[in-house]
């Protein structure tokens, strides 16, 4: 038996574990890493079972090409040459920006760096993006605007020092289990206060001092009103506001419009709840906000994020342990994919494509001329452009937009309108069904590299076994493709060499190398080889200098309930499955625990519709209709439905609305109007 230390391929918590390999070179188990700095050997059920899916017989093993409408096996030579020639034809016929690249938060930093390089240096387009667009795009924009850096301000271990947690729009125990248990431990063992704002009775709510169940989409008036109370009771941190921030007068003016009585009415709660939350948060010595998709996935997602930042600045909870604005990043490497420039507006380290000196630096480093200076298409706007016939070629590596993007019929229409679609994945997916070329990739257990966790910690991923059949690591595929496209600046002998190059052009990663993170990962910013990494951001000074109060007014969600569609439909995830289910639905234990689509609904609503628990219902919106099992309880607010997007046979994204935040371009997954009827 061999044990290989690596990092979990599921969520952004960043637990590390040993993959156990038998003498036939097969993965047979997982062992916790008791030395791990953050989680000390603990894992959730997805981590414990992460050795199973790589062995699944459905793994892609050969390149495939569509011939006369059918997918047939092909050689790597044929498949890669076809991609090069079709992309060349498309760009010649329709222009440089008629092709786009979707990168992947499932793949390594090194692979995301290469996607950013392939799109920009070889194909001369900024049309490169990834699922952060569907996830924390609002965070990246909102916190960059207020603080100057769009990442989690503090560390996971900081939670052991907090006196008050404000958890909003994060189902922490299910989605970031090892962070959820950490919060519970602090509450139970040290009496830290816990405010949970979620209209579902999530597990954390059982431990909360205050559980607030307002209407989805009303975070801005709720948080503004909390600040209104803090200011009117003189509970703000006057010294912090005076010395570390700007634009306070503007904030005061805006939050003055949200007295508790008025906000309570918009939010569907009591004024008393707002006052209590305000006092609890402001009076704590060290308080932090922990948030996730409930805050970001709205047409006013950036406003939500900025409003969270305002509250934390107002109470002086920044730049020290136990505090901060802590957006929990979702995918195992979504932080890293952003850091490595898989975003349509920035190169690595958030260096803007619109800055001429930045472009010059990358032109020199990559040995190319004329890097494009206009912001490219995002995952969401690329799909729209394809539907409009403006985007003709799409290269999707490690994403499944058919199941994860909003409004599935629209996505299908868009992908079918393309001239040429390439999918690189480890399994066949709903997206690869529409592809012209499919390339088989090695999974996390079959390659070397690094992932960056939610707390900005760069950690090693190590090869434990060989990939199945002809499958190759994404980085090898990308290098081969670049060479065939006539670019000789993308040849590497190992991922370590790729990281060295990425570090040399990325100040926040400047001191990171495989040698340094061999045993313990480092947290960026880590600008130099002797820098110890940075557990807490904005100590003494914000990245942008002063913190910028950025007040926002309430803007209602794009589609609200009416007589025809009387419910708010909200979507998200569950403990046992991950996203579009490609990996967890191929893991026995997980699939057994949760075998199919369901919709959570309130008991009173169910009574009125004559729906019983576990009965099949149809949920419909203006976009489509889905069959799911009703889960009836008091765990969800009346008038609200909740569905997960894991199941192909009941795809929540057939129902969701393609409405975007105007700046972040993130979809409104958390609110649309729906109705329910019995299926029999
Ligand atoms: N098991 C598992 N773990 C995962 C994932 C997975 O698919 N499965 N995915 C990973 C990824 S990529 C991500 S981004 C994270 C996401 O992690 P979370 O954001 O924690 O998960 P969600 O279920 O999307 O939504 C969180 C909560 O937001 C609440 N909510 C809905 N509407 C609103 C609103 O208007 N305002 C507020 N404040 N809250 C609202 C919902 O009731 C829900 O409980 O999880 C990561 N971890
Ligand atoms: N309705 C609704 N929709 C949502 C959300 C929501 O809350 N509600 N949340 C959104 C969020 S936060 C996110 S992050 C997105 C996620 O959206 P996606 O990223 O599209 O979803 P995943 O299922 O994680 O897709 C990852 C793909 O990568 C493949 N893969 C895994 N490892 C590798 C590898 O090493 N190499 C390659 N090449 N492929 C690999 C997997 O098989 C899978 O097909 O979904 C979004 N969609
Ligand atoms: S908490 Fe996240 S990183 Fe840790 S084992 Fe579970 S899925 Fe993996
Ligand atoms: Mo996400």
Q: For residue range 1-32, what is the model confidence (pLDDT) as tens digits? A: 999 999 999 999 999 999 999 999 999 999 99
Q: DSSP letter at 438?
A: E
- Counting ligands in written order, the one closest to the CA of 330 is 1
**How many CB atoms are located within 10 Å of the residue 71 CB?**
16
Q: Which residues contact 118 (CB under 8 A, 6 or more apart)?
A: 101, 478, 481, 482, 490
Q: Please give the distance, rounded to the nearest whole angstrom, from the Cα atom of residue 82 to the centre of ligand 1.
A: 39
User: Residue ranges of the alpha helices (H) in 153-194?
Assistant: 172-175, 177-190
Q: Is the CB of 147 under 6 A from ligand 3?
A: no
- Counting ligands in written order, the one closest to the CA of 39 is 3
Whether 571 and 643 have beta carbons less than 8 Å apart is answered as yes
Residues lining ligand 2, CB < 6 A?
A: 104, 106-107, 131, 134-135, 293, 297, 330-331, 397-401, 404, 424-427, 429, 441, 443-444, 474, 571-572, 579-580, 582-583, 645, 652-653, 656, 669
CA distance 632 to 612: 7
Residue in the structure block whose two tokens are 């000196």? 357
Considering only CA atoms, which residue is closest to atom 6 of ligand 1? 578
Is the confidence at residue 356, as pLDDT, over 90?
yes
CA dihedral sign, ordered 299, 302, 306, 308:
positive
Q: Which residues contact 68 (CB under 8 A, 6 or more apart)?
A: none
Q: Which long-range contacts (CB under 8 A, 24 or more apart) does 497-502 make?
A: 498/110, 498/113, 498/114, 499/109, 499/110, 499/113, 499/450, 501/113, 501/365, 502/109, 502/110, 502/113, 502/340, 502/348
Q: Please give the distance, rounded to the nearest whole angstrom, from the Cα atom of residue 328 to the centre of ligand 1.
A: 10
CA distance 258 to 148: 27
CA torsion angle for 640, 644, 649, 651 (degrees, to 10)? 70
Whether 27 and 50 have beta carbons less than 8 Å apart is answered as no
Pocket test for ligand 2, best of 137, 174, 400 (most atoms within 8 A of CB): 400
Where would I find the beta strands (DSSP E) of 173-297? 193-197, 210-212, 245-246, 287-291
Pocket test for ligand 1, best of 168, 175, 289, 454 (most atoms within 8 A of CB): 175
Q: Which residues contact 127 (CB under 8 A, 6 or more apart)?
A: 97, 99, 100, 101, 119, 344, 376, 377, 382, 391
What pLDDT is attached to residue 430?
98
Q: For residue range 364-398, what is the model confidence (pLDDT) as tens digits? A: 999 999 999 999 999 999 999 999 999 999 999 99
Mean of pLDDT values over 536-558: 97
Is the confidence at residue 326, as pLDDT, over 90?
yes
Residue % of the chain over a pLDDT of 70: 100
Q: Please give the distance, rounded to the nearest whole angstrom, from the Cα atom of residue 160 to the centre of ligand 1.
A: 23
Ligand 2: atom nearest CA of 405 is 47
**pLDDT-derived band at 680, boundaries 50, 70, 90:** confident
Residue in the structure block whose two tokens are 């052009």? 505
Q: Is the CB of 8 under 6 A from ligand 3?
A: yes
Phi, psi of 96 (to 5 degrees): -55, -40
Q: Which of these, 482, 474, 334, lies nearest to 396 by C-alpha position?
A: 474
Adjacent-strand bridge partners of 158 = none
CA distance 628 to 649: 9
Hey, what are 390's tokens? 């403006």
Residues in the chain: 680
Hey, what are 642's tokens? 């909740």
Adjacent-strand bridge partners of 409 = none
**pLDDT-derived band at 245, boundaries 50, 70, 90:** very high
Q: For residue range 246-281, what is the model confidence (pLDDT) as tens digits? A: 999 999 999 999 999 999 999 999 999 999 999 999
Average pLDDT value for the chain? 97
CA distance 317 to 311: 9
Is the confidence at residue 359, as pLDDT, over 90?
yes
Mean of pLDDT values over 48-77: 97
What pLDDT is attached to residue 456?
97
Considering only CA atoms, which residue is closest to atom 28 of ligand 2? 398
Q: For residue range 599-625, what is the model confidence (pLDDT) as tens digits? A: 999 999 999 999 999 999 999 999 999
The H-or-E segment that residue 627 falls in is strand 625-633
Considering only CA atoms, which residue is closest to atom 30 of ligand 2? 398
CA distance 195 to 281: 8
Q: Is the CB of 15 under 6 A from ligand 3?
A: yes
Q: For residue range 177-223, what is the model confidence (pLDDT) as tens digits? A: 999 999 999 999 999 999 999 999 999 999 999 999 999 999 999 99
Q: Helix 356-366 crosses helix 495-505 at what angle (to 10 degrees)?
A: 150
Sheet holding 16-21, edge to edge: 2-7, 16-21, 27-32
Ligand 1: atom nearest CA of 646 is 7
Residue in the structure block whose two tokens are 């092709």? 99
Q: Which of these, 474, 497, 509, 461, lies nearest to 347 by C-alpha position?
A: 509
Considering only CA atoms, which residue is closest to atom 6 of ligand 3? 44
Adjacent-strand bridge partners of 314 = none
CA distance 76 to 330: 33
Q: Which of these, 1, 11, 2, lies nearest to 444 by C-alpha position?
A: 11
Q: Is the CB of 572 under 6 A from ligand 1?
A: yes
The alpha-carbon radius of gyration of the chain (Å, integer) is 24
CA distance 467 to 210: 49
Considering only CA atoms, which residue is closest to atom 13 of ligand 1? 330
Domains of the chain are 2-55 (2.20.25.90), 64-135+332-523 (3.40.50.740), 137-327 (3.40.228.10), 567-678 (2.40.40.20)
Ligand 3: atom nearest CA of 14 is 3
């Amino acid at each position: 038996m061999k044990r290989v230390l690596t990092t979990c391929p599921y969520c952004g918590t960043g637990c590390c574990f040993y993959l156990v390999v038998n003498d036939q070179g097969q993965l047979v188990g997982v062992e916790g890493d008791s030395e791990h700095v953050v989680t000390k050997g603990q894992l959730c059920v997805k981590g414990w079972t992460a050795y199973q899916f790589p062995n699944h017989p459905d793994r892609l093993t050969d390149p495939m090409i569509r011939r006369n409408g059918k997918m047939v096996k092909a050689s790597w030579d044929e498949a890669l040459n076809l991609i090069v020639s079709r992309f060349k034809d498309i760009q010649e016929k329709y222009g440089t920006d008629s092709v786009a690249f979707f990168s992947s938060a499932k793949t390594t930093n090194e692979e995301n760096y290469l996607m950013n390089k392939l799109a920009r240096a070889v194909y001369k387009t900024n049309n490169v993006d990834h699922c952060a667009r569907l996830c924390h795009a609002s965070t990246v924009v909102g916190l960059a605007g207020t603080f100057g850096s769009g990442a989690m301000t503090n560390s996971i271990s900081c939670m052991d020092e907090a006196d008050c947690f404000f958890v909003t729009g994060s189902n922490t125990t299910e989605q970031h289990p090892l962070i959820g248990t950490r919060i519970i431990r602090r509450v139970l063992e040290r009496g830290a206060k816990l405010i949970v704002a979620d209209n579902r009775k999530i597990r954390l709510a059982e431990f909360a001092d205050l559980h607030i169940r307002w209407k989805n989409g009303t975070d801005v008036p709720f948080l503004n009103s909390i600040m209104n109370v803090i200011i009117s009771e003189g509970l703000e941190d006057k010294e912090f506001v005076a010395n570390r921030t700007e634009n306070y007068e503007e904030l005061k003016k805006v939050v003055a419009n949200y007295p508790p009585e008025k906000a309570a009415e918009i939010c569907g709660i009591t004024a008393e709840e707002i006052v209590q939350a305000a006092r609890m948060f402001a009076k704590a010595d060290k308080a932090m906000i922990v948030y996730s998709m409930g805050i970001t996935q709205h047409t006013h997602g950036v406003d939500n994020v900025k409003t969270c930042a305002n509250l934390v600045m107002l109470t002086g909870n920044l730049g020290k342990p136990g505090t901060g604005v802590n957006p929990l990043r979702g995918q195992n490497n979504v932080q890293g994919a952003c850091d490595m420039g898989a975003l349509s507006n920035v190169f690595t380290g958030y260096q803007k494509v619109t800055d001429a000196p930045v472009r010059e630096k990358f032109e020199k480093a990559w040995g190319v001329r004329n890097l494009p200076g206009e912001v490219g298409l995002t995952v969401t706007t690329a799909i729209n452009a394809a539907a409009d016939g403006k985007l003709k070629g799409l290269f999707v590596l490690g994403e499944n937009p058919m199941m994860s993007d909003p409004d599935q019929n629209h996505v299908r229409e868009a992908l079918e309108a393309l001239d040429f679609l390439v999918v690189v994945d480890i399994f066949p997916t709903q997206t690869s069904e529409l592809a012209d070329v499919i390339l088989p990739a090695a999974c996390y257990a079959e390659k070397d590299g690094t992932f960056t966790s939610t707390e900005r910690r760069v950690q090693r991923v190590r090869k434990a076994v060989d990939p199945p059949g002809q499958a190759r690591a994404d980085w090898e595929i990308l290098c081969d493709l670049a060479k065939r496209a006539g670019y000789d600046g993308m040849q590497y002998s190992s991922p370590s060499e790729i990281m060295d190059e990425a570090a040399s052009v990325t100040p926040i990663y400047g001191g990171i190398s495989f040698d340094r993170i061999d045993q313990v990962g480092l947290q960026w910013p880590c600008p130099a080889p002797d820098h110890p990494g940075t557990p807490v951001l904005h100590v003494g000074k914000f990245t942008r200098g002063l913190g910028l109060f950025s007040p926002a007014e309430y803007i209602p969600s794009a589609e609200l309930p009416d007589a025809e569609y009387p419910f708010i439909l909200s979507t998200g995830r569950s403990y046992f499955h991950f996203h579009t289910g490609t990996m967890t639905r191929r893991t026995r234990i997980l699939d057994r625990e949760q075998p199919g689509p369901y919709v959570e609904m309130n008991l009173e609503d169910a009574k009125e519709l004559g729906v019983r628990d576990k009965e099949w219902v149809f949920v419909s919106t203006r976009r489509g209709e889905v069959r799911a099992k009703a889960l009836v309880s008091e765990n969800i607010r009346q008038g609200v439905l909740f569905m997960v997007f894991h199941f192909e046979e009941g795809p929540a994204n057939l129902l969701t609305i393609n409405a975007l935040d105007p700046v972040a371009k993130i979809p409104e997954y958390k609110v649309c109007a729906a109705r329910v009827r019995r299926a029999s």
